Structure 1
Amino acid sequence: MTTIDNLWRQLGAPHNPALLPPHFVKSTLPRMGGMVVTLQRGDQLAGIGLLFPRAMASDGMRSYTLRLHEIDQRLSDELVHAALAPTPVRIYRPSDGTTFAPPTTRPAGVWIGLPQAADLPAIAALYRAVWDSQPYPTDLFSAEFGPGTALVATVDGQLAGFLLGFLRFGGAPNAPNELAIESQVMAVDPVYRQHGIATRLKRAQANDALARGLRCIQWTVDPLQLPNALLNFNRLHAIAGAFARGYYPVHNALNLVTASRFIITWLPASAHGRLGLVDGGERPALADLPGVAVLNDGPKLMPAPNDPPYIAIALPPGWTELQRRDLAQATAWRDATDAIFAEWVGWEAGKYVIYAVAHDQAGNHYLIGRPAGSWVWEENS
């Protein structure tokens, strides 16, 4: 971790807008199958690059896009290829990203499509408004970089949201060596959050992935954020079969306590996952789940029977507001639910996959899990 911070400082962080956020480089890039490389000229550091997954051949050979940051002077492509041989790479410099969708007038109402160059300032401004931090470089949306997903949403011609994703190696529990999508960052302007824009962006991403033969989309999410859980599980029919405590080494307005994360997996070609491509997401009642074991009462852990048919984890109301209002209580919630997720959530036999949000008569919400198994990826209905 310290090495990344040192490398980024040599590239002018935090004031170099061409750099990706260091928390992404530390946490998500390696999980995608990417890596950081350094290039030398003699005994001097001459360049730093990020290897992004690009393609996977039928024989399993992996190739990459090298996002190259040079120090002091340009490196020859021959030198770069020689340094990284035998790994197949396509060299990309941030200044290369200049091609976007041709400028056209968007239709009235909600529209989802490819970004135009004129959208880039609004994308960066929306990112800052949501996360209060330096945005991802907008050249990542370009045809030259070739992201896994580059989408914007407009309402009556005004930018209302965006979605950026990368290609990744593996992801699906039944297909660890397939090319997939890492859906990295999405933002929706609060002014337009009653238009279903997040759902539309994610569905557009899934339909595009399926058209390209990609069957898995992954992303990370704070497991205690109810709006995200309702979107991911009840509307998109994605699932969470992995959990990471302290996934991001970051603290900001949305992460005042440990930034733990679910690894969300959406398999839109599966019988379960394709339900998320159309409207009709349900919010089941806790009382309709026979034998469900409720694992916590607020931040207090509850005893559970062996092998229950369902598990339920209570969610705190207003998680972001709770962090701001009562940090000690928020920390207690995080510690308790982290312990539950670490013990119960997983793909392997005896573990549970989170797949829905349910409510009780008092209006409390619960994450619902069922035993892991082939129902996750089966494609027959």
Structure 2
Amino acid sequence: MVELLASARAGVRLLSLHGTADLQRADRLLRQVWGTRPGDDPPISLDVMCALAHVGGYIGGAFLDEELVGAAVGFLAADRSLHSHVAGVASRARGLGVGLALKEHQRAWAAERGLVAVSWTFDPLVRRNAYFNLVKLGAKVAEYLPDFYGPMSDGINDGDVSDRLFVTWPVTPDPAPATERAAGPSETAAVTVLDEAGTVRPGGGAPLLRCATPPDIERLRVDEPGEARHWRAALGGVLGAAFADGYRITGFTRSGWYLLARGGTA
């Protein structure tokens, strides 16, 4: 039912993709979303998608007026979850709720197969993704993964360190509203360990921490690559040290701050 509501709100039709023609469409879409240039590695190769579809892996597509505007690819994990490896939405369909519809399609697909959760990774510097994942969806941060994929040349991540947050999203929806579920500790009570200028501050050992994110890391990568690298190193250093010291991300604010507590869960 939730899947149908999400797709209805977005005005899209959600389908599992099969067959070379549809998978080629998904390949083209994901390359466009990532800005993949000739010679770059695609977000996921077409041959892998063909193999996944053939053996029953997850490949979902969102159609708007018969045009494929969203695609997501995932595979089964050993802990009885669906791991969503890549998902993208065409620029013309952003802001319509297509990403939410795809996530609900993944959740429904996982539920039909008796799985317990959906997992994925995301770049902790991308503020809108952090808010969507942690607040709107209510996913929980399980791990901080430094340079998880190693060097990447896919258009979006060229030359950047691939630090990621690994999140899990239960198949059974949390009855609490998203704002309450991800509110976490009071922002005003938290000690700032990375401020809005990208400056690292002392504060380790405080019960509650907060660290900022840049408003638009994607623009910084293009216009001010040195500043983007600074943010990557600063946030990676702060989150890496905090996780190693027993802190966990408990929330994310609309203004772009991660909230952390020692031993907490999102």
Q: What range describes the TM-score normalised by the shorter chain of this pair?
A: 0.7 to 0.9
One-letter identity of the residue aligned with 1:356: G
Displacement after TM superposition at 1:156 (Å): 2.1
Residue 125 of structure 1 pairs with residue 28 of structure 2: yes
Q: 1:242-293: per-residue Cα shift (whole Å, max 9, x none)?
A: 1122112214432242121111222343xxx6259xxx64398899535212
Q: CA RMSD in A?
A: 2.7
Distance 1:233 1:275 in 2: 15
Corresponding residue for residue 180 of structure 1: 81
Mark the runs of 5 or more structure 2 residues left unpaired by the alignment.
Answer: 1-9
- Give 1:261's match in structure 2, choosing from 153, 159, 164: 164
Q: 1:66-107: per-residue Cα shift (whole Å, max 9, x none)?
A: xxxxxxxxxxxxxxxxxxxxxxxxxxxxxxxxxxxxxxxxxx
Distance 2:123 2:263 in 1: 21
Q: 1:94-138: per-residue Cα shift (whole Å, max 9, x none)?
A: xxxxxxxxxxxxxx9311122243422321111111220434223
Displacement after TM superposition at 1:182 (Å): 1.2
Say if 2:59 and 2:73, in contact at 8 Å, map to a contact too.
yes
Residue 323 of structure 1 pairs with residue 221 of structure 2: yes
| Cα 1:355/1:193, change in 2 over 3 Å | farther
| Cα 1:274/1:285, change in 2 over 3 Å | closer
Instruction: Report the structure, 1 or 2, having the larger helix content.
Output: 2
Say if 1:354 and 1:369, in contact at 8 Å, map to a contact too.
yes
Residue 231 of structure 1 pairs with residue 132 of structure 2: yes
Corresponding residue for residue 90 of structure 1: none
| Cα 1:302/1:260, change in 2 over 3 Å | same
Mark the runs of 5 or more structure 1 residues left unpaired by the alignment.
Answer: 1-107, 171-178, 377-381
Larger radius of gyration: 1
Partner SS, residue 295 of structure 1: strand
Q: Which structure ranks higher in relative contact order (CA pairs < 8 Å, sequence separation ≥ 6)?
A: 2
Say if 1:221 and 1:263, in contact at 8 Å, map to a contact too.
yes
Corresponding residue for residue 110 of structure 1: 12
Distance 2:162 2:185 in 1: 31
Q: TM-score, normalised by structure 2?
A: 0.81
Corresponding residue for residue 3 of structure 2: none
Corresponding residue for residue 240 of structure 2: 342
Corresponding residue for residue 367 of structure 1: 258
Number of corresponding residues = 244
| Cα 1:217/1:247, change in 2 over 3 Å | same
Displacement after TM superposition at 1:193 (Å): 0.9
Structure 1 residue runs of 4+, over 6 Å off? 283-287
Q: TM-score, normalised by structure 1?
A: 0.58
